[in-house]
Structure 1
Amino acid sequence: MEQAGSLGARGSTGSAAPDIRTASVRVPAQARPADVERERGVASDESRSVSGARGEHTHSEPPIPHPRVETARPVVQRASVRGQILDALRTALVAGELAPGQVYSAPVLGERFGVSATPVREAMQQLALEGAVEVVPNRGFRVVRRGTRELAELAEIRALLEVPVVLRLARTVPAARWAELRPLAEAAARAASAGCRATYAECDRAFHHAILALAGNDQLVQIADDLHRRAQWPLVGGPVPRGRADLMADAAEHIALLDALTAQDLPLVQSLVREHFADRT
């Protein structure tokens, strides 16, 4: 139920700089009324000053296309820009559009998003706390390199946390509650059919989140969600990213699990949930 994949700053990686498609951008350029222009002017000056002080070099970074503005989407509000950029960067990680080992500076990404470097830097700091990137003094942020061993370790930990909970819920949750989760499983199936790894990753996390939330343990849900997100980041020297067929098979396991949970078929639930995590190692 993972490893799916966009920056649009919202692909696969290689030695060459990543090609970040604009079609998946989640953060359109901001409107520029006079007051915002004045504030952006100050922010730009501050960004240049801070970048100079921090030595965030931008001339050697790969070009990142400006995001396409879609009129159907609302203009980003300043209050939510950091969160939207964080979502876009997380999606880009899943898609492999932020290449492992590549260094990115906040001023360059901010320019492409149409915002100052500040919210981008704040979003990158959050990703650093999550272990997705690491701070490179005087340069910016480097996407962490990960291997298959780390992926296997994450899958093992997730299984230790989630399998017992799902088996317990299978004995106590009524069929009607499981039926409420079916739209989430169907959304994941549609994303898998479209072959969109980024969208599938979001749907996959939402499905697991909803199941674990039935246990009523917020800390468990938070920890499991963090582990799940980490398991979706691209690998270096690992297997080829999962394709459409793999995603569809993964989504089909969601449907089968829901059917078994609804029928309270405990042996089948145990078999399906263990197999599901075994596929992640």
Structure 2
Amino acid sequence: MEQARARETDVRAGVPRVRVPEQAAGTRGAHAAHGGARGEHTHGEPAPVRAAVRRTSVRGQVLDALRAALVGGELTPGEVYSAPVLGERFGVSATPVREAMQQLAVEGAVEVVPNRGFRVTERSARELAELAEVRALIEVPVMLSLARTVPAARWAELRPLAEASAAAAACGDLAHYAEADRAFHGAVLTLSGNRQLVQVADDLHRRSQWPLVSGPVSGRRADLVADAAEHMALLDALAAQDLGVVSSLVREHFAGASG
């Protein structure tokens, strides 16, 4: 019991508070009130729709905050976190936290622990290497095809995204770099016109960003800066239609992300 209390104390101290809009924070009460009148609603009562929208908004904010905490190492691999405790920290009910955690479970970032909460996945170096291999199998052929067909001017339009990732890397901001990195790769793959491909690649990318069980979450600025620099180099190679450099850069980029 004392260990459980200590664990919950650590959770409260280690997770950033989410600022939930005042209107959205009232969703719990509104939802409960409408739940008691289920079956009596008429078409002239729009409140339940507004409540659903508010709840989705809160869930999205909590999901973003949890993703940032995972990437930044604020949620420790192997540790179990309960929805009520996280909800208390976020200033929301446990419901949007559970919903966000269920999404993270689908993404492979956490696993459900019955009657306790959610355990942060312990990602091994081998798992990350396997993800890197799968990403390379998907993205290298696509990028080689794009290098042959996309004009150089189009690649120049993606430079602001590469610069954004470099700025986040320079600050050592893991969470912002993770989003900027995904935005860059997503923009490149979107040029293929294949939305299914973009979705699958983004899911693999996100899975590869969760921290290693024993990997450092601080002092990685140099690695991030080197990783971000490869984005600019990749754009140069794509614009020059240098297929050999494109292939090697993408493979090395993914391998570096898994190490």
The alignment's TM-score, normalised by the length of structure 1, stands at 0.75
Q: What's 2:187 paired with? A: 210
Q: What's 2:129 paired with? A: 152
1:170 aligns with 2:160: no
8 Å Cα contact 1:147/1:238 also seen in 2: no
1:36 aligns with 2:30: no
3-state SS of 2:257 partner: coil
Q: Which runs of 5+ in 2 are unaligned?
A: 1-8, 34-52
From 55, 61, 81, the equivalent of 2:58 is 81
From 20, 28, 37, the equivalent of 2:14 is 20
Q: Which string of whole-angstrom CA distances, capped at 9 and with x for unpartnered residues, describes residues 83-140 of structure 1?
A: 1111111111111111111111111111111111111111111111111111111111
Bigger RCO of structures 1 and 2 (CA < 8 A, at least 6 apart)? 1
Q: Percent identity?
A: 72
Q: Which amino acid aligns with 1:266?
A: L
8 Å Cα contact 1:178/1:258 also seen in 2: yes
1:126 aligns with 2:103: yes
Q: Which amino acid aligns with 1:116?
A: S
8 Å Cα contact 2:27/2:54 also seen in 1: no
How many residues get paired?
A: 231
C-alpha separation in 1, matches of 2:244 and 2:213? 37
3-state SS of 1:150 partner: helix
User: What is the Cα deviation at residue 241 of structure 1?
Assistant: 5.7
Residues 105, 166 of structure 1: CA spacing in aligned structure 2 closer, same or farther, 3 A cutoff?
Answer: same
Q: What's 1:50 paired with? A: none
Which of structures 1 and 2 has the bigger CA Rg? 2
C-alpha separation in 1, matches of 2:82 and 2:246? 46
1:98 aligns with 2:75: yes
User: What is the Cα deviation at residue 159 of structure 1?
Assistant: 0.6
From 177, 183, 208, the equivalent of 2:160 is 183
C-alpha separation in 2, matches of 1:17 and 1:38? 26
From 172, 175, 185, the equivalent of 1:195 is 172
Q: What's 1:254 paired with? A: 231
Q: Which string of whole-angstrom CA distances, capped at 9 and with x for unpartnered residues, describes residues 43-102 of structure 1?
A: 9xxxxxxxxxxxxxxxxxxxxxxxxxxxxxxxx954411111111111111111111111
User: What is the Cα deviation at residue 240 of structure 1?
Assistant: 6.4
3-state SS of 1:276 partner: helix
Q: CA RMSD in A?
A: 2.6
Q: Which string of whole-angstrom CA distances, capped at 9 and with x for unpartnered residues, describes residues 194-218 of structure 1?
A: 1111110110011011111111111
Residues 198, 177 of structure 1: CA spacing in aligned structure 2 closer, same or farther, 3 A cutoff?
Answer: same
3-state SS of 1:183 partner: helix
Q: Which amino acid aligns with 2:84?
A: P
C-alpha separation in 1, matches of 2:223 and 2:64? 24
Q: Which runs of 5+ in 1 are unaligned?
A: 1-15, 44-75
1:113 aligns with 2:90: yes
The alignment's TM-score, normalised by the length of structure 2, stands at 0.81
